[in-house]
Homo-oligomer: A and B are copies of this chain.
Amino acid sequence: MPRAGAGGANLLALRSHNTALVLDLLRTAGAAGISRLELAERTGLTPQAVSKITARLRADGFVAEAGRRASTGGKPATALRLVPEAGLAVGLHLDRDELRAVLVDLTGAVRAEHRAPLDLGAGQDAVVEEAVRAARTLSDGWAPEAVLGVGAAVPGPLDHRSGVLHRVTGFPEWDGFPLRDVLARRLRLPVVVDKDTNAAALGLAVTGSGAESFAYLHLGTGLGAGLVFGGSVHRGARTGAGEFGHQVVQMDGPPCGCGGRGCIEALCLAAVERGDLEGAARTLGVGAANLVALLDIDLVLLGGRTVARAPEPFVRGVREVVGARASWDVPVRIAAGGVAEGAAQLLLAPVFGRGVG
């Protein structure tokens, strides 16, 4: 049961918990579906409880029958599947120079997409206007009650609980801007705001990275991380977790813009600039290995523009360093999935009991 908030749980909380659990299994099962009995086994609930829950979900339009399974010697099981368009969410990625927006359904599939150049420094009104227009365009034509809300991913730092931005690196005019409330008022929809790296990590966690806990390392104009423990994103009290770029790995190293010396970001980006991708990858690897050892992590995923331009050397370099340090097998892969998709999961994930934390 939840430790968040007051914590007292009543029958309604019990029901939503079990319902979310069932929905999560239905989502994982995909279009092939899953039988009631299998749901019962996987959740630990009795078959009859599952029957009641799925009956409610069918009445509400979230679940439909998906044909019959082959018999195993008795009455063949009827498979149940999620109705993808019963729940939709808009995901916005407000990057420094681009806006990407997607409409994602319950299964995590992208149903519509929108892309436009953006200048985060062009003023709050212009940026908000662009975001509102994108969200409206994408959700237009769908059943209004199916649209659960809008998730917005921003470079950070920010506070994900209040949805207020802080001193976005390079754009101080955003400091204190209540992005969540402004968007919510304009769109008349629930809005959730989070750091870009956290959104990306959430997306990867939900759409099946295959690991319970992993680190997503994002190397673009800067270097950040999204941390997932036990299937949920670790944000910390100030949404500050994942400050990976300014981890010191060279105590007496060159000074960094942050005031410290020998930060990974500075070392890594300097190596990239002088064309030494292998050096950059090894430095990234040292940081990744620190993180893997400290947090007992199962998987490392790499993303971001700089990595996307040359995936091979980064994966190889990080894999080598991490492999030499960790005593268990830690796969290192390129992350499949964008930031905007993850932002949409800020609204979709709670449906499946994967809270915003």
Contacts and interface: CB of A to CB of B under 8 A. Distances in A.
A10 B45 contact: yes
A296 B243 contact: yes
Nearest to A238: B296
Interface in A16-33: 17-18, 21
A170 to B, nearest CB: 17
Interface on chain A toward B: helix, strand, loop, or mixed SS?
Answer: loop
A232 B6 contact: no
A295 interface: yes
A240 B297 CA distance: 9
Given A240-B293, A294-B247, A296-B237, A230 B3 contact: yes
Nearest to A246: B293
A162 B44 CA distance: 22
Contacts of A235: 296
A347 to B, nearest CB: 19
Contacts of A18: 8-9
Interface string A219-239: 000000101011110111111
A51 B276 CA distance: 68
A42 interface: yes
A55 interface: no
Contacts of A44: 5-8
A286 to B, nearest CB: 5
B1 A241 contact: no
A13 interface: yes
A252 interface: yes
B8 A296 contact: no
B249 A297 contact: no
B294 A243 contact: yes
Contacts of A227: 294-295
15 contacts: A1-B2, A3-B231, A7-B17, A7-B353, A11-B14, A212-B237, A213-B236, A240-B296, A243-B296, A247-B293, A248-B249, A248-B286, A248-B290, A250-B251, A251-B262
Given A7-B43, A240-B328, 8 more contacts: A1-B17, A6-B43, A8-B18, A8-B43, A229-B229, A238-B328, A247-B293, A259-B324
